[in-house]
Amino acid sequence: MTGDALAIAWRTVSLAALATLVMLPPGIALAWVLARRQFPGRAVLETVISLPLVMPPVATGLMLIWVFGRRGPVGGPLSQLGIDVMFTWRAVVLAGAVMGLPLLVRATRAGFEQVDRRYEEIAGTLGASPRRVFLTISLPLAKRGVLAGALLGFSRALGEFGATIMVAGALPSTRTIAVAIYSYTETGQQAAATTMLAVSASIAFGALLLSNRLAAGS
């Protein structure tokens, strides 16, 4: 049983890590655009990004199925190419990334907003293109916000349940810690559920400790 628990734990952590990597580029880009640019439809964009935070995760999961399921606009073509999203590890990553993205964007955006535009301006006068300014000035100076956002996104992906169980199912091969706890409780396997609970608490504890050290230090 502990072997099982460790396998599930490792799978959950590694898929959450992948979800974090997946959400970073769009998350940073969106945070930058929202922090620095005015444009029509900006409020709409902010709202859409925040939807997974506000909607019940199960509802988000349903929407993901509609898009990425075999009959969906994205899932259909992918399925033709032999790539299935639902009920595979890809669904776990997808659910984690979608649910974590709003948190990543918020924290990163705050990080960018705290970067003094002065530095960006002066970098421009020194000949740096907007892209170079972003990479060498804005992003490094917003580092704390980006890291905090990534950690928040990672934690969210780690504990994600509602959307995950919709898109990835409760299959043994895709089971994350949260889904495992649910399945074990549903089937009366108290001991297994308790083990997973302990594993989950340890990981959460470790992640929070790390997060506090990052916030305090650097």
In the complex, the residues that contact other proteins under the rule CB under 8 A are 10-11, 13-15, 17-18, 20-21, 62, 65-66, 69-72, 75, 84, 86-89, 93, 116, 118-119, 121-130, 132-133, 136-137, 139-141, 143, 146-147, 150, 154, 165-166, 169-174, 183, 185-188, 214, 217-218
**Angle (CA) 105 118 144, round 5°:** 35
CB of 20 to other proteins, least distance (A): 6
CB of 200 to other proteins, least distance (A): 17
Q: Is 180 exposed, middle or buried (0-12, 13-18, 19+ CB in 10 A)?
A: buried
The pair of structure tokens assigned to 96 is 């984690």
- Give whichever of 10 and 205 is closer to other proteins, judged by the CB atom: 10
- Give whichever of 47 and 210 is closer to other proteins, judged by the CB atom: 210
CB of 43 to other proteins, least distance (A): 26
CB of 68 to other proteins, least distance (A): 9
- Give whichever of 52 and 145 is closer to other proteins, judged by the CB atom: 145
Question: What H or E segment, with its residue span, contains residue 159?
Answer: helix 143-159
What region, left, alpha or beta, does residue 87 occupy, with left being phi > 0 and alpha being psi -120 to 50 degrees? left
Distance CA 75, CA 104 (A): 25
Distance CA 150, CA 144 (A): 10
- Give whichever of 30 and 85 is closer to other proteins, judged by the CB atom: 85
Distance CA 93, CA 157 (A): 8
CB of 178 to other proteins, least distance (A): 13
Tell me the Cα Rg of the chain.
19
- Give whichever of 50 and 189 is closer to other proteins, judged by the CB atom: 189
